[in-house]
């Protein structure tokens, strides 16, 4: 019969001798020391993602919007099957960004039509496994596309939101998307974080009105930032502008950009958008100086092979009028914060 009596090794005997001879007053000091090293370790980083999802419309007409192209009998023949495949595609992209580190704490999006689309995405698509909540306000864009923010309630404790109107119509310009401002506390650090989600007016046509509209959007954002000096701020969105565009000068006086800036960096980087064979960054993530120590130095572009065509460009949902079943004309960005 096997003897199960435990025999102490030399190491065990030394440890027992140390405990026996150590004064009891030493143990509170030992506990304090171990606690210091344990609780002074950095908090686990949380991932934040930005994605221009490109024309996510439902299949029913909104009487107040010009969404006729994205109806079953519209020019794009936007059927329920195509709609649900689009939501499946978005779910796959978010899951790929998540990898093994858990779902992103925040996912900023633009070009979503309405609350119905977001409800289907969060509750009825494969993304329902992530249990996201979302923030959305209906905006004045003529086509009906808005910005939105998905968040993990366990990681980001939502406190409030507001829709900031860009006064384009008041200036005789084409109405553009509102700026979404959301604030809440990061669960792991209990730090208050202000998040701005933007989709600036298009550069299409390159005319004076387009430039004025983008300048007006910049001024509106800067006014909101000035109200929050010293706060932890994260701004993400499609600015329809490259890093060296003049509209960024007032923004970069207030925020720190996380996208490549120098010529050398930009030459190496692929970018998020490809126009006529030329890559560039028109999607951006920026943080306030007080937030900079708590974020990565540079964003990552999610260049997953399944998002690209054989030519290495973003696989769009449509190529002209032809349906291709792709994802978006933009690539997503993500960055880790803590």
Instruction: Report phi then psi at 263, rounded to 5.
Output: -60, -40
User: Looking up tokens 């010293």, which residue turns up?
Assistant: 230
Q: What do you get for the CA distance between the two ends of the chain, in Å?
A: 57
Of the candidates 137, 133, 199, 193, which has an alpha carbon nearest to the alpha carbon of residue 162?
137
Q: Digits of tens for pLDDT over the chain (338 positions)?
A: 344 433 444 444 433 444 444 444 433 433 333 333 333 335 679 999 999 999 999 999 999 999 999 999 999 999 999 999 999 999 999 999 997 678 999 999 999 999 999 999 999 999 999 999 999 999 999 999 999 999 999 999 999 999 999 999 999 999 999 999 999 999 999 999 999 999 999 987 667 888 999 999 999 999 999 999 999 999 999 999 999 899 999 999 999 999 987 666 656 657 999 988 889 999 999 999 999 999 999 999 999 999 999 999 999 999 999 999 999 999 999 999 99
Of the candidates 12, 111, 95, which has an alpha carbon nearest to the alpha carbon of residue 49?
95
Which residue segments constitute the domains of the chain, with CATH numbers given?
A: 12-39 (no CATH), 46-337 (3.60.10.10)
- Helix 115-123 to helix 80-98 angle, to the nearest 10 degrees? 60
DSSP state of 57: -
Between the CA of residue 288 and those of 96, 166, 230, 257, what are the distances in Å?
28, 21, 8, 9
Taking the CA of residue 299 as centre, how many other CA atoms within 13 Å lie in the half-sphere pointing to its CB? Answer: 33
Q: Is 320 left (phi over 0), alpha (psi -120 to 50) or beta?
A: left
- What's the rounded Cα separation, in Å, for the pair 129 and 118? 14
CA geometry: angle 248, 253, 256, nearest 5 deg: 80
DSSP state of 240: S
């Amino acid at each position: 019969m096997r003897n199960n009596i435990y025999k102490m090794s030399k190491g065990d005997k030394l440890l027992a001798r140390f405990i026996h001879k150590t004064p009891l007053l030493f143990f509170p000091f030992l506990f304090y020391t171990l606690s210091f090293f344990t609780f002074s370790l950095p908090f686990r980083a949380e991932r934040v993602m930005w994605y221009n999802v490109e024309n996510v419309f439902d299949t029913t007409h909104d009487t107040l919007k010009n969404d006729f192209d994205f109806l079953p009998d519209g020019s794009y023949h936007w059927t329920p099957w195509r709609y649900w495949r689009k939501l499946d595609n978005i779910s796959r992209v978010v899951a790929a960004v998540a990898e093994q580190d858990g779902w992103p704490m925040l996912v900023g999006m633009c070009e979503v039509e309405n609350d119905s689309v977001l409800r289907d995405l969060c509750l009825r698509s494969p993304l329902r496994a992530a249990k996201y909540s979302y923030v959305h306000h209906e905006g004045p864009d003529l086509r009906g596309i808005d910005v939105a923010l998905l968040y993990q309630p366990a990681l980001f404790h939502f406190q409030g939101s507001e829709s900031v109107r860009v006064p384009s119509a008041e200036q005789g310009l084409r109405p553009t998307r509102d700026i979404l401002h959301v604030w809440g506390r990061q669960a792991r650090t209990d730090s208050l974080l202000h998040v701005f989600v933007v989709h600036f007016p298009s550069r299409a046509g390159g005319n004076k009105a387009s430039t004025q509209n983008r300048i007006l959007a910049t001024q509106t954002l800067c006014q909101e930032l000035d109200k929050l000096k010293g706060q932890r701020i994260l701004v993400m969105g499609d600015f329809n502008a490259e890093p060296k565009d003049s509209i960024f000068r007032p923004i970069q006086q207030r925020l720190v950009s996380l996208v490549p800036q120098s010529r050398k960096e930009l030459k190496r980087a692929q970018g998020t958008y490809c126009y006529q064979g030329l890559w560039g960054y028109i999607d951006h993530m920026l943080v306030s100086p007080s937030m900079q120590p708590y974020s990565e130095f540079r964003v990552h572009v999610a260049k997953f092979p399944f998002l690209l065509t054989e030519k290495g460009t973003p696989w769009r949902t449509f190529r002209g009028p032809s349906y291709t079943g792709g994802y978006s004309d933009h690539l997503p960005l993500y960055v880790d914060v803590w």
